[in-house]
């Protein structure tokens, strides 16, 4: 089976800093694929090159059997990748409902003249946009807050609103950048069930997360980055025992000091 | 946004609509009693309403601060002057020129908007300010090598405003009532203003209007949601400019004479001030701002001299000078006490409440 997303030797540098170095991986359709690593490992950079916010230095992405690199962010979204942001980027002054309605932009058509003349087709589309947006708010569990200012929602609800907005674009791949950040255990548990449900409904999920319980419970496979390089990949349980992963997270064990120099060179 | 609220509002305001309509119909008759020049002043105020509504699309909806907006007014005015005047001996009818003017202005909107696409915030203001000046300087100098605009002398003896056989420039008796030229023009302007208000309201509550809001709120997030921000920003520039073009065409036809002097930077700033003072993004606010700021100088003209003479026995400061002073003062006061404008939009109100909380 051809994978949904294939990354081949993806590299990105900022000046002298190698944020990503020859990272390769594949994500199968229907999978929840975790992306973990210490702070500064290059996880968010990977999201940004994937979604077109940054340009790749080298390597390639292929999504749904067609190349993806070099596309502008809106074209990437049109191809079927929707994302959330690590530091929530909602349209804070608009209502929760309007946020999700904006997510429908991509899959709707009304233009200036349709809007000006308010044709029957435009009105029908508007009603459909609002209806779908309310459904999605319901789906993530914040329908009651539909008319509240997005920026005034509690933190966990903002995270879920961002997911609803991303789902509104009808993606094939949903990329979540630390959705559980700042959540208490109860909220994280609700989020875990939401992500599981999204996958059960047929979506593929790419998940950056620091909350290890979430990653270990949810993900089918996990990719571990450190200093922009792939250091491990596999089932969560296997990755957890991987010596290099432990080293990346916990630092170098005293007896391994002699080998420490070789790590950066590798 | 909700359907129930909208119906409620319309039903509740049916009597209100009737009263406003009646007031709009009677207004020029009342003003004529005060002084014939007031209808003319009112007409210019309505032109500013059109301009402010156009600029509001760019500044209020899409959040792109355009300080050269008057250039599109100029483009519309010159399109009329060239197509309905002695310059090239062309005398096309008004209703054909107006859409052409709107289209040409929209094209200029795209041309001048394109270089600002990569810029954000204040930098857009600087570039558009420069473009506004470039257009004016071109108009001033395009008398050579080929005389297009007749330079600083401007273009005169333009065709008066006429729709078919109906002439808006002459006095006429209709159904026993005496209608002066400006009065007839007033009714046309009110209709155009209402049309533009309806268009703007519909755009605001549409897929396009939401995309503009998204760009204003967070351009990066808007792109990640699949909005082609390049296209959506150019669309805002084009729509805003086309309203300016319409206003410019009407201005030319009312005045019968135009020159680059009418399209100076000061005018751009006044239109921005109208939008900001009234309430960016909120249509009633923008209309109010435009009316207030266009009537203010006239009111001052009638009051400043007598007040100074009564106080000091002679006039110390010219009304023109005081006007600018008072504009500045009014803007400072507004920014301090009502930073979202006199009638702020719901979104801005939310924004300010959030920052204060």
Does residue A23 carry a pLDDT above 60?
yes
Mark whether B16 and B116 lie in a shared domain.
no
CA B70 from centre of chain: 9
Is the bond into B145 cis (omega within 30 degrees of 0)?
yes
- C-alpha B30/C-alpha B20 separation (Å) is 15
Q: Of A112, A128, A145, A177, which to mutate for an interface test with B (greatest number of B Cβ within 10 Å)?
A: A112
Does residue B4 carry a pLDDT above 70?
no
pLDDT average, residue stretch A91-100 = 96
Tell me the per-residue pLDDT of A122-145, one tens digit each, with 9 for 90 and over. 999 999 999 999 999 999 999 999
Q: How many domains does chain B have?
A: 2
Strands A32-36 and A221-226 come out as: parallel
Mark whether B5 and B77 lie in a shared domain.
no
Supply the DSSP string of B330-345, one letter for each residue: HHHHHHHH-TT-SS--
Q: What's the confidence (pLDDT) of residue A162?
A: 97
pLDDT average, residue stretch A185-197 = 94
pLDDT band, residue B37 (cuts 50/70/90): confident
Strands A229-234 and A221-226 come out as: antiparallel
Q: What's the confidence (pLDDT) of residue A6?
A: 95
Q: What's the confidence (pLDDT) of residue B299?
A: 83
Q: What's the confidence (pLDDT) of residue B45?
A: 95
Does residue A90 carry a pLDDT above 90?
yes
Mark whether B7 and B56 lie in a shared domain.
no
Tell me the per-residue pLDDT of B204-218, one tens digit each, with 9 for 90 and over. 999 999 999 999 999
Contacts of A166 in chain B (CB under 8 A): 225
Does residue A196 carry a pLDDT above 60?
yes
Does residue A263 carry a pLDDT above 50?
no
Residues 140-199 of B with CB under 8 A from A: 199
Mark whether B15 and B114 lie in a shared domain.
no
Mark whether B190 and B214 lie in a shared domain.
yes
Contacts of B228 in chain A (CB under 8 A): 72, 74
Tell me the per-residue pLDDT of B217-244, one tens digit each, with 9 for 90 and over. 999 999 999 999 999 999 999 999 999 9
pLDDT band, residue B3 (cuts 50/70/90): very low
Domain A1-80+171-266: state its class.
alpha beta
Q: What's the confidence (pLDDT) of residue B354?
A: 66
Mark whether B39 and B117 lie in a shared domain.
yes
Q: Of A92, A93, A143, which to mutate for an interface test with B (greatest number of B Cβ within 10 Å)?
A: A93
Percentage of chain B exceeding pLDDT 70 = 94
Q: What's the confidence (pLDDT) of residue A260?
A: 45
Is B226 within 8 Å of A97 when comparing Cβ atoms? no
Beta-carbon-side half-sphere exposure of residue A1 (alpha carbons within 13 Å): 9
Q: What's the confidence (pLDDT) of residue B11?
A: 54
Residues 94-133 of B with CB under 8 A from A: none
pLDDT band, residue B136 (cuts 50/70/90): very high
Residue ranges per structural domain of chain A: 1-80+171-266, 90-170
Q: What's the confidence (pLDDT) of residue A258?
A: 47
Tell me the per-residue pLDDT of A227-237, one tens digit each, with 9 for 90 and over. 999 999 999 99
Does residue B259 carry a pLDDT above 70?
yes
Mark whether B261 and B166 lie in a shared domain.
yes
Does residue B78 carry a pLDDT above 70?
yes
Mark whether B29 and B175 lie in a shared domain.
no
Strands (E), chain B: 84-85, 90-91, 162-163, 166-167, 172-174, 177-179
Does residue B6 carry a pLDDT above 60?
no
Does residue A255 carry a pLDDT above 60?
no
Q: Of A94, A134, A145, which to mutate for an interface test with B (greatest number of B Cβ within 10 Å)?
A: A94
pLDDT average, residue stretch B173-184 = 80
pLDDT average, residue stretch B132-138 = 94
- C-alpha B1/C-alpha A100 separation (Å) is 14
Q: For residue B99, give the CATH number of its domain.
A: 1.10.3470
- C-alpha B357/C-alpha B347 separation (Å) is 15
Is B221 within 8 Å of A89 when comparing Cβ atoms? yes
Alpha-carbon distances of B86 from B68, B154, B245, B253, B324, rounded to whole Å: 29, 12, 21, 13, 36
Mark whether B239 and B108 lie in a shared domain.
yes
More confident residue, A114 or A256: A114
Does residue A264 carry a pLDDT above 70?
no
What are the b/e assignments for A112-137, b being 16+ CB within 10 Å? bebbbebeeebeebbeebbebbeebb
Q: What's the confidence (pLDDT) of residue B9?
A: 60
Q: What is the mean pLDDT of chain B?
A: 88
Q: Specify the length of chain B in residues.
A: 357
Query: What is the residue range of B216's domain?
Result: 35-356
Strand partners, A34: A207, A222
Q: Which of B76, B60, B69, B58 is nearest to B131 (CA)?
A: B69
Residues 235-264 of B with CB under 8 A from A: 235, 239
Q: Identify which of A78, A105, A126 has the shortest CB distance to residue B211.
A: A105
Residue in chain A nearest B210 by alpha carbon: A102
Tell me the per-residue pLDDT of B334-354, one tens digit each, with 9 for 90 and over. 888 888 888 887 777 777 666
Mark whether B23 and B106 lie in a shared domain.
no
What are the b/e assignments for B22-39, b being 16+ CB within 10 Å? eeeeebbeebbeeeeebb
Cβ–Cβ < 8 Å for A79, A71 = yes
pLDDT band, residue A200 (cuts 50/70/90): very high
Q: What's the confidence (pLDDT) of residue B355?
A: 62
* A170 Cβ under 8 Å from any chain B Cβ: no
* A149 Cβ under 8 Å from any chain B Cβ: yes
* Lowest-confidence segment of A1-5, B64-68, B142-146, B163-167 by average pLDDT: B163-167
Alpha helices in A8-119 (DSSP H): 43-50, 73-79, 96-103, 112-117
Mark whether B235 and B328 lie in a shared domain.
yes
Question: ipTM of the assembly?
Answer: 0.90
Mark whether B277 and B153 lie in a shared domain.
yes
Does residue B162 carry a pLDDT above 90?
no
Question: Hey, what are B78's tokens?
Answer: 């010159």
């Amino acid at each position: 089976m051809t994978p949904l997303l294939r990354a081949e030797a993806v590299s990105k540098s900022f000046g002298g800093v190698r944020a990503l170095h020859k990272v390769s991986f594949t994500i199968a359709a229907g999978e929840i694929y975790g992306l973990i690593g210490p702070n500064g490992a290059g996880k968010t950079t990977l999201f940004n090159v994937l979604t077109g916010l940054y340009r790749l230095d080298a390597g390639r992405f292929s999504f749904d059997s067609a190349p993806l690199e070099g596309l502008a962010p809106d074209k990437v979204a049109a191809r079927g990748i929707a994302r959330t942001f690590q530091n929530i980027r909602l349209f804070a002054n608009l209502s929760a409902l309007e946020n999700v309605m904006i997510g429908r932009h991509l899959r709707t058509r009304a233009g200036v003249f349709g809007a000006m003349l308010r044709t029957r087709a435009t009105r029908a589309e508007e009603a459909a946009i609002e209806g779908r947006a309310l459904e999605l708010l319901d789906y993530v569990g914040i329908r009651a807050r539909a008319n509240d200012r997005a920026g005034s929602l509690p933190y966990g609800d903002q995270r879920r609103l961002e997911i609803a907005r991303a789902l509104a674009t009808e993606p094939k791949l949903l990329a979540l950048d630390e959705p559980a950040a700042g959540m208490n255990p109860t909220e994280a548990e609700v989020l875990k069930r939401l992500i599981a449900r999204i996958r059960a409904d047929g979506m593929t999920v790419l998940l950056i997360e620091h909350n290890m319980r979430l990653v270990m419970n949810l993900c089918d496979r996990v990719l571990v980055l450190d200093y922009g390089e792939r250091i491990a990949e596999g089932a969560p349980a296997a990755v957890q025992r991987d010596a290099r992963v432990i080293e990346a997270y916990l630092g170098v064990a005293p007896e391994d000091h002699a080998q420490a120099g070789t790590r950066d060179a590798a | 946004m909700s359907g129930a609220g909208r119906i409620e509002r319309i039903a509740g305001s049916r009597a209100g609509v009737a009263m406003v309509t009646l007031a709009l119909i009677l207004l020029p008759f009342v003003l004529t009693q005060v002084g014939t020049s007031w209808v003319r002043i009112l007409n210019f105020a309505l032109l500013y309403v059109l301009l402010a509504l156009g600029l509001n699309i760019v500044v209020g909806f899409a959040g792109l601060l355009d300080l050269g907006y008057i250039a599109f007014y100029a483009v519309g005015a010159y399109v009329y002057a060239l197509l309905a005047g002695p310059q090239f001996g062309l005398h096309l009818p008004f209703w054909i020129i107006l859409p052409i003017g709107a289209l040409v202005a929209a094209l200029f909107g795209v041309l001048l908007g394109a270089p600002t696409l990569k810029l954000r915030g204040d930098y857009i203001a600087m570039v558009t300010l420069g473009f506004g000046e470039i257009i004016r300087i071109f108009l001033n100098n395009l008398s050579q090598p080929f005389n297009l605009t007749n330079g600083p002398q401007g273009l005169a003896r333009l065709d008066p405003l006429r729709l078919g056989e109906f002439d808006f420039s002459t006095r006429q008796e209709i159904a026993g009532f005496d209608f002066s030229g400006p009065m007839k023009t007033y009714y046309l302007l009110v209709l155009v203003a209402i049309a533009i208000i309806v268009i703007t309201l519909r755009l605001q509550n549409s897929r396009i209007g939401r995309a503009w809001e998204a760009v204003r709120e967070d351009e990066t997030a808007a792109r990640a949601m699949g909005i082609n921000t390049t296209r959506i920003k150019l669309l805002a520039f084009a729509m805003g400019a086309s309203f300016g073009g319409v206003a410019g065409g009407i201005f030319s036809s009312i005045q019968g004479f135009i020159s680059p002097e009418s399209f100076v930077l000061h005018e751009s700033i006044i239109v921005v001030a109208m939008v900001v003072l009234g309430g960016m993004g909120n249509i009633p606010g923008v209309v109010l701002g435009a009316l207030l700021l266009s009537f203010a100088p006239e009111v001052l003209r009638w009051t400043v001299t007598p007040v100074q003479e009564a106080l000091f026995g002679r006039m110390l400061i010219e009304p023109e000078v005081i006007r600018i002073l008072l504009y500045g003062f009014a803007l400072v006061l507004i920014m301090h006490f009502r930073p979202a404008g006199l009638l702020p939009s719901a979104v801005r109100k939310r924004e300010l409440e959030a920052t204060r909380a």
